[in-house]
Chain A
Amino acid sequence: MAEKGLARADESYQKRDKRVRELKAGGKRIMGYLCCYPPLEMVTALDFVPFRVLGDMNEAITKADAYLPTIMCPFLRSAFDLGLKERYDFLDGFVGAHVCDCGEKLCHLWDYYLEPSYYHFIDFPHVVHRASFDFLKEELNSFKTTLEGYAGKEMTPERLKQEISLHNQQRALVRELYELRKPDPPLLSGTETLKTVVALMSIPVEEGNELLREAIKEVKERKDGPQKKGARLLIWGSPIDDVAFIEMMEGMGANVVMDDTCVGSRHYWPDVELTADPLDGIVHRYLADIKCPRTFRETTESYQKDLEARFSYLRDYAEEWKVNGVILQSMKYCDTHGYEVPALKDYLDGIGLPNLYLEHEYTMVALAPLRTRVQAFLEMIG
């Protein structure tokens, strides 16, 4: 592996399957997963290499139409289309989870049509009630049973604890990487960040940690980082796995300094607490700590307090990363994010943070019409 740091991240981003195909040729087994909910600690505790299934905005969806309607999440349609085109033919298994309605059903269809040699679906409660933790723990025990059966070995608590530490290490390194976006100008661009994160989802965790250490060192030492620009943006919303969207913003006078998407901070932010039974910490992290709108947060005595409970972490991000504008982006047909938009706008308006809602269709072509709106927004806040 000749490249290091950001160049290595760029290489992995450009050729996502390169490393896992090498590993597979060497006898490793690759486990695909969708979204940020399948507990990867359990996957690596049995020596599988996790690989996140993403879409491809540059590839026209041509095969998925024979199986899926056009009125559903285009990101998921794209991912399934790639599966049908054998772009994920290196996957040995697939772990699905009940993330959103479309995500749930897509996992089942993945199993039905692509027939991975291993498949397991984990049901995630929508609510964070006391009984939900017990339920999810039983779900994860079922997952453990089938995964052990497929691996042909046992997942010991000791090994699972080691893996939790390893993944927490990665999370800490990602947070450290994001710290480098706090200065003005940021030391690392949004584009570089996204490439790095996508790379992490494409290589083994240990290699990802090594990549992160190299990238952090490189960024701290380099003198040719991003230029200072008028706007410092936070990007919120549905998955962004292609840099085109971020590049568009950064090419128009903005520094993208923070994100709240699941191919970004949402995937990495919370740690797993090391508990006596390691599954307890995992359950808590994945059910309660990941901030995705697919999870319902209890209502409080007023709407304003609800907003505070649901979105105050974004104010913290905005303060720490000195954000002066928020792009709320959602793919068309993404219900979990779509319902969130007016309430989130209320919250951001309430704390005086300018924001712009953009809906797009997960294609390169569909990005072009957004430029004018973004330009006007940047002029307003810059």
Chain B
Amino acid sequence: MAEEKKRAINRLESRKLMRPMVDKMYIESVEAAKAGKPVAWCMVNWWEGDPILRAMDVVPVYPENYGTVCAAMGAAQGYLGKSDAEGFPTHLCGYARNCIGYTTSMIELGEIPAEAPMGGMAKPAFMMSSGAFCDARYKWFQALRRYWDVPVWVLEFPHPGVKEAAMEGTFEHVIRYMVAELREFVNFVERLLGKKIDWDHLNEALDTQEQVFRVWWESNELRKAIPCPMHSRDFWTCMVPCYYLAGERETLEAYTAVYEEVKARVDAGIGAVAGEKYRLMFAELPPWHSLGFFDRLAERGWNFVIESMGYHPPPPIDMEGVTDPLERIARFAYGWYTSTNINIPRGERSALGAQPYVNFAREYKVDGVLFHPLLTCRTASIWLTHGANVVMERARVPSLFMQGDIVDLTVFDEAQALNQAEAFEETMEHYRQIRKREGLG
């Protein structure tokens, strides 16, 4: 029986290339620290700081990803409890609480806890925060100063409003600011480590990174096919190197293999779920601790064909004539951010942070959206209700909400979620008819 459930989602073979890369990322960081190389704890920063760090021979480690790892491997609950005991409010980001708990364990023991998944995270030489998208990304590392006597740098990421971003001159003044901040960051790391950045290395990494984004973006474009060749489970497995190892040749090779496999499936008309009955979008991050839930849904013919835009690379961005690598980084990161508001049909208002949901609902021909508000993540959750409103209003696609969390498994009720799913099928059927009647495809 268990064997059959596993087969409900036809997973990509090429996904298996990803996990060893992630394992290696953790192992190398611990080994690097032992060898005296500097390790930096980093927030997801939308590729602003990662290539710079690698061009300075700094080994980045990502506590956000480590939250995912701990949740998936069942180690998070203990760390969450430790964070609570330190006096941090329980409503804070689950990843942050996991990291705070991990850190206090490490401080108490004077070394990486033996039970730490993936070999743990080595002590940082400094911490690189990010001003992008959520307050936790800079407040969390600031709070870790209580435990690590190492500097924290915040890599700024401007957020002009939607209309304001379109004002004459705004794009360029944002880029000027980002480049100035990136230069300061390079100076900071150079001063701290007493060594210079390798600009050639940086340029090479950026070349690779842009190829990685392109091939990964194209792979996801192929998922518009009916049936969809790649399930969200594979997306979540594959997305990690794009975030953390985007400048590596190995990553490019892995994503090329994914592209080829997905393309072959499209050409052969093979879907990720046999007898694809419903096409769904999943919005926000999944319950990492309960991914088997998607197998149960796949048994009902549910295929998850697209996810929140925040985890996707942007469409290719023209870098013609941009020679300064820092400007290249800035234009890419900010271009990714502003790409949220492209593809708005004439006469429609931007739906703000929910615009990608509307676009994806149309482009991927989804029957429904499964919204997963994360109890400890406001950034991820704040657009979701609005997203459900505009997806219904503009694309006539219904939504289902299932509350949970990225780390804390106690707040996700799988049995109840499955019951709701069954009832939701009728709603999806109903809106299929409405879309047909209204000529919405």
A and B: real partners?
yes
Q: Kindly list chain B residues whose C-beta atoms are within 8 Å of the C-beta of A155.
A: none
Give Cα A120–Cα B184 distance, bound, in whole angstroms: 30
A342 at the interface (CB under 8 A from B): yes
Selected interface stretch from B43-51, B204-212, B377-385, B414-422: B377-385
B160 at the interface (CB under 8 A from A): yes
A101-B134, A135-B173, A335-B92 given; A121·B389 CB < 8 A: no
| Contact status B87-A345, CB under 8 Å | yes
Per-residue interface assignment for chain A, residues 34 to 48, with 1 indicating a CB less than 8 Å from any chain B CB and 0 otherwise: 000000000000000
Q: Name the one of A105, A111, A339, A359 contacting B382, with C-beta atoms under 8 angstroms.
A: A105
Q: Name the one of B87, B136, B163, B169 contacting A342, with C-beta atoms under 8 angstroms.
A: B87
In the complex, the chain B residue whose C-beta lies closest to that of A142 is B167
Give Cα A346–Cα B146 distance, bound, in whole angstroms: 9
In the complex, the chain B residue whose C-beta lies closest to that of A145 is B167
Give Cα A132–Cα B351 distance, bound, in whole angstroms: 29
B162 at the interface (CB under 8 A from A): yes
Q: Kindly list chain A residues whose C-beta atoms are within 8 Å of the C-beta of B91.
A: 71, 332-333, 338
Shortest beta-carbon distance from A136 to chain B in Å: 9
Selected interface stretch from B72-80, B147-155, B271-279: B147-155
Per-residue interface assignment for chain B, residues 124 to 166, with 1 indicating a CB less than 8 Å from any chain A CB and 0 otherwise: 0000010101111011101101100101101010111111100
Q: Kindly list chain B residues whose C-beta atoms are within 8 Å of the C-beta of A134.
A: 176-177, 180
Selected interface stretch from A163-171, A201-209, A298-306, A369-377: A298-306
Mark out the residues of chain A between 332 and 366 whose CB falls within 8 Å of any chain B CB in the assembled complex: 332-333, 335-336, 338-343, 345-346, 357, 359
Q: Name the one of B93, B133, B389 contacting A335, with C-beta atoms under 8 angstroms.
A: B93
| Contact status B143-A342, CB under 8 Å | yes
Q: Name the one of B164, B177, B384 contacting A120, with C-beta atoms under 8 angstroms.
A: B164
Shortest beta-carbon distance from A53 to chain B in Å: 17
Q: Kindly list chain A residues whose C-beta atoms are within 8 Å of the C-beta of B379.
A: 101
Mark out the residues of chain B between 89 and 147 whose CB falls within 8 Å of any chain A CB in the assembled complex: 89, 91-93, 96, 129, 131, 133-136, 138-140, 142-143, 145-146
Mark out the residues of chain A between 181 and 226 whose CB falls within 8 Å of any chain B CB in the assembled complex: none
Shortest beta-carbon distance from A149 to chain B in Å: 11
| Contact status B135-A101, CB under 8 Å | yes
Mark out the residues of chain B between 342 and 368 whose CB falls within 8 Å of any chain A CB in the assembled complex: 349, 351-353
A121-B164, A131-B180, A333-B91 given; A339·B139 CB < 8 A: yes
A82 at the interface (CB under 8 A from B): no
A104 at the interface (CB under 8 A from B): yes
Q: Name the one of B87, B156, B353 contacting A357, with C-beta atoms under 8 angstroms.
A: B87
| Contact status A135-B161, CB under 8 Å | no
Give Cα A120–Cα B384 distance, bound, in whole angstroms: 23
| Contact status A69-B87, CB under 8 Å | no
B386 at the interface (CB under 8 A from A): yes
B253 at the interface (CB under 8 A from A): no
Q: How many inter-chain residue pairs (CB < 8 Å) link A and B?
A: 172
Per-residue interface assignment for chain A, residues 105 to 136, with 1 indicating a CB less than 8 Å from any chain B CB and 0 otherwise: 10111011000000111110111011110110
A126-B156, A142-B167 given; A303·B373 CB < 8 A: no
Give Cα A343–Cα B382 distance, bound, in whole angstroms: 27
Shortest beta-carbon distance from A141 to chain B in Å: 9
Q: Kindly list chain A residues whose C-beta atoms are within 8 Å of the C-beta of B93.
A: 335
Give Cα A286–Cα B334 distance, bound, in whole angstroms: 24
Q: Kindly list chain A residues whose C-beta atoms are within 8 Å of the C-beta of B386.
A: 67-68, 109, 112
| Contact status A132-B156, CB under 8 Å | yes
B88 at the interface (CB under 8 A from A): yes
A123-B159, A339-B142 given; A135·B177 CB < 8 A: yes
| Contact status B158-A125, CB under 8 Å | yes
In the complex, the chain B residue whose C-beta lies closest to that of A346 is B146
A98 at the interface (CB under 8 A from B): yes
Shortest beta-carbon distance from B97 to chain A in Å: 11
Give Cα A121–Cα B352 distance, bound, in whole angstroms: 13
| Contact status B161-A294, CB under 8 Å | no
A67-B385, A108-B353, A121-B160 given; A339·B373 CB < 8 A: no
Shortest beta-carbon distance from B88 to chain A in Å: 6
| Contact status B92-A339, CB under 8 Å | yes
| Contact status A296-B159, CB under 8 Å | no
| Contact status A125-B135, CB under 8 Å | no
Shortest beta-carbon distance from B44 to chain A in Å: 14
| Contact status A335-B139, CB under 8 Å | yes
A56 at the interface (CB under 8 A from B): no
Give Cα A72–Cα B149 distance, bound, in whole angstroms: 32
Per-residue interface assignment for chain A, residues 138 to 155, with 1 indicating a CB less than 8 Å from any chain B CB and 0 otherwise: 110010011000000000
A72-B378, A338-B91 given; A109·B352 CB < 8 A: yes
Interface residues of A (CB under 8 A from B): 65-69, 71-73, 96, 98, 100-102, 104-105, 107-109, 111-112, 119-123, 125-127, 129-132, 134-135, 138-139, 142, 145-146, 293-294, 296, 299, 302-303, 306, 330, 332-333, 335-336, 338-343, 345-346, 357, 359
Given contacts A134-B177, A299-B145, 11 further A-B contacts (CB under 8 A): A67-B386, A69-B373, A108-B353, A131-B181, A132-B177, A296-B142, A299-B151, A332-B91, A338-B91, A340-B139, A342-B143
Interface residues of B (CB under 8 A from A): 86-89, 91-93, 96, 129, 131, 133-136, 138-140, 142-143, 145-146, 149, 151-152, 154, 156, 158-164, 167, 169-170, 173-174, 176-177, 180-181, 184, 349, 351-353, 373-376, 378-379, 381-386, 389
